[in-house]
Amino acid sequence: MTGSSLEGLSELATLVAATQDALTDDMITRLASAFSEGMILLDRLTRNEGLVHLLKELDRPENQHFLIALSDAFTAASREIATAPPAKGGVIGVCRLGCNAGTQEGLRLVSLIGEHLSASMRELHRHGN
């Protein structure tokens, strides 16, 4: 071993000793428990094929833009609902809402998602997964 390696080990040992002095037994137990639970959760997450696929898809720029747009839409809708008077209900209100271009675009988006989801589910079951 070189002198710099021994010096590094010595500094690491000093850091560990100082940490042990600063932490109570209860704190160490809680930290160890949290670390253990975190490792178990990480293991479960990395074994979940669907979640790993979703994370890979979310890494694509178009999906990141979609998520930003979706979160902005939630914020705007929340503010709009909070400041708008309650809906009166009735068929005429539904007809007016249906004439709104934003409503039609929203229904189209949900319809397209449903169409692609259904096709994907059929393909999964067709292959026996």
Domain count, the chain: 2
Query: Which residue range forms the structural domain that includes residue 103?
Result: 88-129
The string of pLDDT tens digits covering residues 65-105 is 999 999 999 999 999 999 999 988 899 988 988 999 999 99
- Residue 20's pLDDT band (boundaries 50, 70, 90)? confident
Residue 92 lies in a domain: yes
Q: Which residue has the higher pLDDT, 65 or 20?
A: 65
Distance CA 36, CA 100 (A): 52
Contact 103, 97 (CB under 8 A): yes
- For 35-85, give the DSSP string: HHHHHHHHHHHHH-HHHHHHHHHHTSHHHHHHHHHHHHHHHHHHHHHHHSP
Distance CA 32, CA 39 (A): 10
Lowest mean pLDDT among 15-19, 79-83, 113-117, 121-125: 15-19
- Residue 60's pLDDT band (boundaries 50, 70, 90)? very high
Residue 63 lies in a domain: no
Contact 35, 43 (CB under 8 A): no
